[in-house]
Structure 1
Amino acid sequence: MSALSQAQRTKGDAYLQEGKSTLKKSTWFASSTEQKYEDAAESFTKAANAYKVGGWNDEAGAAYQRAAELYRDKLKSLNEASKCLSDAGECFKKSNPTEAVACYRSAVTLLCDAGRLNQAAKLSKEIAEIFENDGAAEEDGNGGGGNPAIVAAIASYQQAAELFEMEKANSQASSCLQKVAELSSGALDPPELLRAAEIYESLGRQCLESNLLKYNAKTHFLNGILCHLANGDSIGASQALTRFDSLDYTFADAREGKFAKQLVECVEAFDPEGLATACFEYDRISKLDPWKTSMLLKVKRSIEGSAGVGGDGEDDIDLT
């Protein structure tokens, strides 16, 4: 423990005691009572700041919570209360993710009540990221299966997207929806591939409405087709391919469009070798990310199963 850390702990303890003593004072008038609560909240905030500087994250978070309670319940200041809760969540995030989520959620409620939707959206995204990281760690530890943390992450990303959309923050909303699609299709067990396909198609259509973003539509459309194929629905994939060709006249001749068409043809022909070759050629130019690779593995397994090709599991599948 460094001298600075201990000094900040001592300073934090002093401010905390000052806040507690202030609350015990007797007052006779409404104005003096309000001033008492303001002084106590300020002391708790100073304590939290001192603890934070010293690296005492749990103590800092708890002090911010004390201040938030006064601002919310006694002083009716939603802005100050939400700020303290947000600061508390930031401190707890380093040591106590569960408590951090509770603080962030309380802050989101207050921010929504105050009409500060953009900040509420950012905190909802923060909550989603905590759950996503927790879900990834849980999956690494137990080998997958039902994962409540991933379900919670998806719900929080969805909430963040809706709040961003209300504020016309379309790029942030799209980013959150991409996470919903990615986690729904790649991290849930069983996956919600149809939901993901619909999101990717919607995102692609939105991109086409902007001259700056229209080139991103091809990636979203390819991802949507991958979801249909991974879901064992080559007809849905073929229909989607036709739709995307009509929506974006450049899609058919683009690398993504050609790759999507090859994949659909290989699935319809029950041709796992052709699919592996198409993946290898595409990967040489445009590196396949982990999500696409996981979808393609699902597609190849479905082909091999339909064609009666043997295999003991994912480790036996070589896309390249």
Structure 2
Amino acid sequence: MTDQEINGDEFCRRAEKKLTGWGLFGNKYEDAADLYEKAVNSYKIAKAWEKAGSTYEKLASCHKKLESRHEEASAYADAANCYKKINPREAIRCLNESLEIFMGIGRLNLAAKHGKDIAELYEAEEDLNEAIRFYERSAELYETEGATSTANQMAQKVAQIAAQLEQYPKAIEEFEKVAKLSINNNLLKYSVKGILLNAGLCQICKGDIVGITNALERYQELDPTFSGTREYKFLADLASAIDEEDVEKFTEVVKEYDSMTRLDAWKTSLLLRAKNALKAKEVEEDDLT
């Protein structure tokens, strides 16, 4: 145990003594909070993250007794930052406490930020359904606060993860909603073609040619410039390859687009699924002949 950790333990012992004792002067919760602050500083220097996190939670309890709700929520957020280094699930629990308190006192922007933080932790833990739930909550809160750009980012995360889970209708709905919200915004309208491409790739994964064709018509109505973009041509050529059940053509279309605009891991994953589905269909038909 380092000297700093020993110091932290001593500050905590003194804080607990304050809380259990009787004082004629001052406020025992304020005095204990000061000592817990000193304790967490020592623990952080010592990198004793478990102790730092639990002490921040004790600090939060003092602030609750003092009816300092903002400080209580902030202490839980600080606890989460310590737990993140060693125990993501404990970090999530503390962030959730902070989120609920900030919601209760109307600090919706801070609640939205914590919703995003929780979602990212769940995503890192590969608990994707919970990640979706908190990205959705964050998006709603940012939208309420008028932070349209950040709300759209959260909604796109929902869509991307839904697509990973093969929940294509949900992914398409989210992408299309963001595109509609962005098209008349001077700052966001230039992102629309990329968003429609993502929605279109989810349509491609569904493998429904009529659905893909109808979607491309809708996207052209939404953004009349879309039909002249490489993104539109890419989706149309993929749809044609699927309609013709031509795996080789599908591969060439992807290769050509990727040579001009590098495909990210998410798009590559979806295209591989669509290609494998096309291959499986080709094999199935060969077996029938």
- C-alpha separation in 2, matches of 1:10 and 1:307: 69
Identity %: 36
- C-alpha separation in 1, matches of 2:7 and 2:147: 41
Amino acid at match of 1:54: A
- Give the structure 2 partner of residue 10 of structure 1: 6
Displacement of 1:232 after TM fit? 2.4
Q: Write out the 4+ residue segments of structure 1 that deviate beyond 6 Å after TM superposition.
A: none
Amino acid at match of 2:175: Y
- C-alpha separation in 2, matches of 1:176 and 1:42: 37
- Give the structure 1 partner of residue 33 of structure 2: 41
- C-alpha separation in 2, matches of 1:211 and 1:37: 51
Amino acid at match of 1:110: I
- Give the structure 1 partner of residue 113 of structure 2: 122
Amino acid at match of 2:104: D
Displacement of 1:175 after TM fit? 1.3
Displacement of 1:302 after TM fit? 2.3
Q: Name the SS of the counterpart of 1:252 in structure 2.
A: helix
Amino acid at match of 1:84: A
Q: Name the SS of the counterpart of 2:227 in structure 1.
A: coil
After TM superposition, the structure 1 = structure 2 runs for residues 109-148 of structure 1, keeping only pairs within 5 Å, are 109-135=100-126
- Give the structure 2 partner of residue 303 of structure 1: 278
- C-alpha separation in 1, matches of 2:285 and 2:93: 48
Deviation larger for 19-28 or 8-17: 19-28
After TM superposition, the structure 1 = structure 2 runs for residues 75-90 of structure 1, keeping only pairs within 5 Å, are 75-90=66-81
Amino acid at match of 2:112: A
1:154 aligns with 2:132: yes
2:218 to 216, 233, 243: 243
Deviation larger for 100-109 or 207-216: 207-216
- C-alpha separation in 2, matches of 1:226 and 1:234: 12
- C-alpha separation in 1, matches of 2:133 and 2:145: 19
- Give the structure 1 partner of residue 97 of structure 2: 106
1:197 aligns with 2:172: yes
Displacement of 1:310 after TM fit? 8.8
Deviation by residue 1:207-256 (Cα, 9 ceiling, x = unmatched): 21112221210111111111112022222111110011111111111110
Alpha carbons 1:304, 1:310 under 8 Å: kept: no
- Give the structure 1 partner of residue 15 of structure 2: 19
TM-score by length of 2: 0.94
- Give the structure 2 partner of residue 185 of structure 1: 163
- Give the structure 1 partner of residue 262 of structure 2: 287
- Give the structure 2 partner of residue 315 of structure 1: none
Displacement of 1:126 after TM fit? 0.8
Give 5+ residue unaligned stretches, structure 1.
Answer: 136-148, 312-320
Q: Name the SS of the counterpart of 2:262 in structure 1.
A: coil
- Give the structure 1 partner of residue 230 of structure 2: 255
Amino acid at match of 1:163: L
- C-alpha separation in 2, matches of 1:17 and 1:26: 15
- Give the structure 2 partner of residue 218 of structure 1: 193
Change (3 A) 1:18 1:221: same
Q: Name the SS of the counterpart of 1:21 in structure 2.
A: helix
- C-alpha separation in 2, matches of 1:198 and 1:77: 41
- C-alpha separation in 1, matches of 2:37 and 2:285: 64
Alpha carbons 2:209, 2:243 under 8 Å: kept: yes
Displacement of 1:88 after TM fit? 0.2
Alpha carbons 2:60, 2:76 under 8 Å: kept: yes
- C-alpha separation in 2, matches of 1:250 and 1:94: 47
Displacement of 1:309 after TM fit? 6.1
Alpha carbons 1:11, 1:47 under 8 Å: kept: yes
- C-alpha separation in 2, matches of 1:99 and 1:305: 44
